[in-house]
Amino acid sequence: MNVAEKTRFIERDSLIGKRIVKMDAPEKIEGKTRYIHDISLPGQLHGKILRSARVHARIKCIDVSAARALPGVHAVITAADLPHQRPIGVARDHFPLKGDKVRSQRDEIAAVAADTEEIATQALKLIKVEYEDLPILSDPRDALRPGAVLIHPEPQFAGAGQEQLKKGAPVAYTGKSDNVAMRFDYGHGDVAQGEAESDVVVEDTFQLHYVTHCCMGVSGIIAEFDASGNLLMYSNTQVPFLHKREFADYLDMDPARIRIIQPPIGGGFGSKLDIYPFEVICVFLAKAARRPVKLLFTREEEFLASPTRQPVLLTLRSGCKKDGTLTFRQVNTLHDNGAYTSWGATTPFVMMQTFSSLYRVPHCDYHTVAVYTNNPYAGSFRGYGNLQATFAIEQHMDMLAEAIGMDPFEFRLKNAQEAGEVTGQGMSFKSCGFKDCLNTVATRSDYQGKRKANEAQQKAPGAIKRGIGMASMLHVGGGAKIYPSDGCGTILKLDDFAHVTLITGASEIGQGSETVLSQLVCEELGLPMSAVTVVNNDTAITPWDVGVHASRTTFIAGNSAIGAAKKAKIKILAAAAKKFECAESDLDLRGGWVIKAGTGEALIDLPRLLRSLHFTDKAELVMTTFYYEPPSVHQDKGYKGDVSAAYAWATQAVEVEVDTETGIVRMVKVTAAHDVGRVLNRLGIEGQIEGGMVMGQGYALTENLMIENGVMKNPNFRDYKLVTAPEIPEMDISFIESMDGEGPQGAKGVGEAPAICIAAATANAIYNATGVRMFGLPFTPERVYRALHGEAEKLSWKPQ
């Protein structure tokens, strides 16, 4: 006789929008997480790099004999030992080990692998290098003048083969007859017409400075060849699959024999999107020494040898009609490309989107050139050029409004786009919370009232002035179709106990992707967060993803994970429908059970159903895969096209206090509204916004990488000031849920957004407080003081 089982009903519940704790937080808190610095392989050696003592010089000779002879040294390599070395980087102008010339302070000349770090460091000191100095080119404005010293005039390899000299061959093999690294030219509409229609035109030159990522974990890599010659790298790259392919290229290896494992990362922010010399060098050391080699940066090296944010000299000419309609933008920018080309040179791709499409602009013209100099090179950094572009655009929005006597908020609202609009660059705004962002911020910060009150106090007695400034931003929120694929793959398996293994190509760089992806899968399968294990860090196991950049992971990897989960759900419900002899549409998954969709009545717990699927004659496991490619398009040759599957907006109002007797600007409060499509993990997204805003605060107020004649003057935390806890502003954050149709549960990307418009809003706030507008960053005390007291020179630059 059966004991009657009481009928259970499972209540509806959702994980979406909840505060979900980060899955790896406990082990990180307890110090148990093993970052790359904490990993040691048996038999490993320590690698160290000898960097240039000069900024620009011919290398006459390198003598490594004393270093090679030092006990404990297993390998010393220079360019001479690597005749088949290939150039790396976007323009292939960069050999990892330099043999002909050094072109910047961080240039790598030799590398050592030794038993200990101390011996490796000692060995470096024994390497003798003779240089012949060359003139230093450190001002990008001089790079295109006649007679300017050329940074890459000749092939970098003596005796480069004839076939390598053919047209289109890498710069490292051909040399260049000028200092132009890259050019971009964009236009939509007709700016001459736009200017003719304008009642007001303003033109200014803005200067955006060098800052750097300062990830708390310094760069490092471990390289090991196994007995069959396969290469294993422990790497913090944000683009493991691209890396695999590029390494195969540089090493002339079959990509199938390269495996990358990604240990937890001590911060990324875009710093790990390119291939860097130290990585290739470490692999060569491992090859030469026939032992695993671990190479870690010191903090000083991290400053010297990491890519920076792209510095930009920007001249913007904008106009509007007296009724407040924007008419045109004409932009010219000069990018200091540094000695070698990395992703910084491609920031115009992103800057273009802001120039052409942040607010409705009928006519837009943008020209830029990146020039070689002997300065450090720029890479990709959270925001990727958008901070620089927004700094200029949003100051002109204030200036245009003032010129026509319109309230700056009203002016912005009038020109803000709405859902359904397509911009001149072809970006289609399917979900758009722009106006909601503006309205929310204006209301919550009391922008209009405060702005007027502060303005009235500008000339009043008292050294401390308050100001409020507003700025908005537009950024891709649904991936960015710049590679042949912008997709991500997921493999999902459920075991006999309904524990899910989520294998995703998307890496985790501290932003919590593993948690949000698990959240999306659990939502689909009606399981608790504890039911998921994530595997995301081994190219031998995980499916392809283009990488963590462009704020794409939640959107793309999220849709990929949902796709795999949906397939699993279909399979599960099909089996359950058969078992309970009903339609699949009568069933659902909730709380770890298969339930009746209408009533919530629990029919069978998921583990039992899965086991019943498995342990039968027609045994089946629930394992699914899904590759999500977003429905965006590649831009055409004119850079036009709907490059992302969704776009995101934010508005921020920054309130400052300016001490006019010291120039110290204190950021008192930031009121922000972010169009995120939909809040998935409320805890995680708040963390991204708060962290991004403070990064923006650093860009605006405290961080300044000082380069003089190619030499970095402050490669340390003592003199490169990151924001510390007592300096953070009060933060009021609102989320606008525009529910994007393509986004996972309606969500859009947000990783870069919060950092993007802080500096612009701060500039507007300082103007509101003091009546003085600052056209260059950063707003450090002396620079602000000089501007307030008429001691700052106003830049004016036009391209030649």
Partner 1 sequence: MSLMHDIDFTLNGVRRSATVRVDMSALDMLRDVVGLTGTKYGCGEGECGACTVLVDGLSVNSCLMFAVDCDGREVVTIEGLVEDPASTRAAALRDAFVGHGAVQCGFCTPGMMVQASHLLDKHPHADEAGIKRGIEGNICRCTGYKKIVDAIVDVSRQERGAGK
Partner 2 sequence: MDIQHYLAPSSLGQALDCLAAGDVTILAGGTDVMPQSQAGKLQFKRTLMNVRRIPELIGIAAQGKELCIGALTTITELMDNALVQRHLPVLADACNHFASDQIRNAATLGGNICNASPAGDTLIPLLVLDARIELASRTNGKLNWRSLPLAEFFTGPGRTRRAPNELLVGVRIPLPGPGRAAWFHKSGTRPALDISTISIGIAGTLRQGTLSDVRVAFGAVAPTVVRAPRTERALEGKRLDSGTIAQVAQIARDEVKPIDDVRASAWYRKELIHNMTKRMLDHVADA
Q: What is the length of the chain?
A: 800
Cα 138 from chain centroid? 26
Q: Which does 785 bind (CB under 5 to 8 A by kind): partner 1, partner 2, none?
A: partner 2
Least Cβ distance, residue 473 to partner 2 (angstroms): 25
Interacting residue with partner 1 among 70, 200, 728, 772 (CB under 8 A): 728
Using alpha carbons, select from 169, 167, 170, 67 the residue that is nearest to residue 109: 67
- Tell how strand 293-296 and strand 707-708 pair up: unpaired
- Tell how strand 593-596 and strand 220-225 pair up: unpaired
215 binds partner 1 (CB under 8 A): yes
Least Cβ distance, residue 682 to partner 1 (angstroms): 9
Compose the 118-157 pattern: x for residues touching partner 1 by CB under 8 A, - for all others: x---------------------------------------
| 3-state secondary structure (DSSP) of residue 208 | strand
Contact 586, 677 (CB under 8 A): no
Using alpha carbons, select from 106, 386, 354 the residue that is nearest to residue 219: 106
Q: Which does 322 bind (CB under 5 to 8 A by kind): partner 1, partner 2, none?
A: none
Q: Quote the tokens at residue 624.
A: 């699914």
Least Cβ distance, residue 341 to partner 2 (angstroms): 28
Which run of H or of E encompasses 656?
Answer: strand 647-659
Query: 378: which DSSP letter?
Result: B
Least Cβ distance, residue 450 to partner 2 (angstroms): 23
Q: Give the separation between CA 258 and CA 244, rounded to whole angstroms.
A: 6
Interacting residue with partner 1 among 461, 725, 798, 800 (CB under 8 A): 725
Least Cβ distance, residue 757 to partner 1 (angstroms): 16
Return the number of other C-beta atoms located less than 10 Å from residue 686's C-beta.
Answer: 15
Least Cβ distance, residue 24 to partner 1 (angstroms): 7
Interacting residue with partner 1 among 96, 170, 187, 264 (CB under 8 A): 264
Q: Give the separation between CA 314 and CA 318, rounded to whole angstroms.
A: 13
Q: Quote the tokens at residue 152.
A: 């890459």
Q: Quote the tokens at residue 266.
A: 């001590």
Query: 428: which DSSP letter?
Result: B
Interacting residue with partner 1 among 2, 228, 724, 800 (CB under 8 A): 724
Least Cβ distance, residue 513 to partner 1 (angstroms): 11
Least Cβ distance, residue 39 to partner 1 (angstroms): 9
Which run of H or of E encompasses 41?
Answer: none
Which run of H or of E encompasses 502?
Answer: strand 500-504
What is the binding site for partner 2 (CB under 8 A)?
463, 661-664, 666, 701-702, 706, 713-714, 718-719, 721, 724, 726-727, 780-782, 785-786, 789, 791
Q: Give me the phi and psi of 529, to 5 degrees please.
A: -60, -30
Decide whether 122 or 734 has the Cβ nearer to partner 2.
Answer: 122
Q: Which does 695 bind (CB under 5 to 8 A by kind): partner 1, partner 2, none?
A: partner 1
Which span (456-464, 466-474, 686-694, 758-766) binds partner 1, by CB under 8 A?
686-694
Decide whether 339 or 516 has the Cβ nearer to partner 1.
Answer: 516
Least Cβ distance, residue 28 to partner 1 (angstroms): 3
Rg (CA), the chain: 28
Q: Which does 463 bind (CB under 5 to 8 A by kind): partner 1, partner 2, none?
A: partner 2
At residue 267's C-alpha, the angle toward residues 565 and 312, to 5°, is: 110
298 binds partner 1 (CB under 8 A): yes
Compose the 99-118 pattern: x for residues touching partner 1 by CB under 8 A, - for all others: -------------------x
Q: Which does 32 bind (CB under 5 to 8 A by kind): partner 1, partner 2, none?
A: partner 1
Site for partner 1 in 30-69 (CB under 8 A): 30-35, 37-38
Q: Give the separation between CA 463 and CA 454, rounded to whole angstroms.
A: 13
Contact 768, 455 (CB under 8 A): yes
Decide whether 221 or 701 has the Cβ nearer to partner 2.
Answer: 701
Using alpha carbons, select from 413, 436, 478 the residue that is nearest to residue 740: 478
Interacting residue with partner 1 among 8, 28, 245, 578 (CB under 8 A): 28
Q: Give the separation between CA 17 and CA 676, rounded to whole angstroms.
A: 12
Decide whether 267 or 781 has the Cβ nearer to partner 2.
Answer: 781
Token look-up 């076939």 returns 163
Q: Which does 701 bind (CB under 5 to 8 A by kind): partner 1, partner 2, none?
A: partner 2
Is it true that the peptide bond before 631 is cis, omega within 30 degrees of 0?
Answer: no
Q: Give the separation between CA 155 and CA 174, rounded to whole angstroms.
A: 5
Which span (27-35, 152-160, 277-285, 455-463) binds partner 1, by CB under 8 A?
27-35
Which run of H or of E encompasses 298?
Answer: none
Decide whether 264 or 505 has the Cβ nearer to partner 1.
Answer: 264
Interacting residue with partner 1 among 13, 26, 578, 782 (CB under 8 A): 26
Interacting residue with partner 1 among 464, 686, 792, 795 (CB under 8 A): 686
Decide whether 662 or 734 has the Cβ nearer to partner 2.
Answer: 662
At residue 723's C-alpha, the angle toward residues 720 and 724, to 5°, is: 115
529 binds partner 1 (CB under 8 A): no
256 binds partner 1 (CB under 8 A): no
Least Cβ distance, residue 50 to partner 2 (angstroms): 15
Torsion sign, CA atoms 26, 32, 36, 42:
negative
Least Cβ distance, residue 764 to partner 2 (angstroms): 20
Q: Quote the tokens at residue 786.
A: 């000089």
- Determine whether 584 is exposed, middle or buried from the number of CB atoms within 10 Å of its CB (0-12, 13-18, 19+): middle
Beta bridge partners of residue 595, listed in sequence order: 588, 602
Using alpha carbons, select from 391, 343, 339, 336 the residue that is nearest to residue 369: 336
Decide whether 31 or 146 has the Cβ nearer to partner 1.
Answer: 31
Which span (28-36, 341-349, 398-406, 741-749) binds partner 1, by CB under 8 A?
28-36
Beta bridge partners of residue 650, listed in sequence order: 473, 674
The amino acid that residue 201 corresponds to is: V
492 binds partner 1 (CB under 8 A): no
72 binds partner 1 (CB under 8 A): no
Q: Which does 30 bind (CB under 5 to 8 A by kind): partner 2, partner 1, none?
A: partner 1
Query: 160: which DSSP letter?
Result: -
Q: Return residues touching partner 1 (CB under 8 A).
A: 19, 21-22, 24-26, 28-35, 37-38, 118, 213-218, 264-269, 298-299, 509-512, 683-684, 686-687, 690-695, 716-718, 722-726, 728, 731
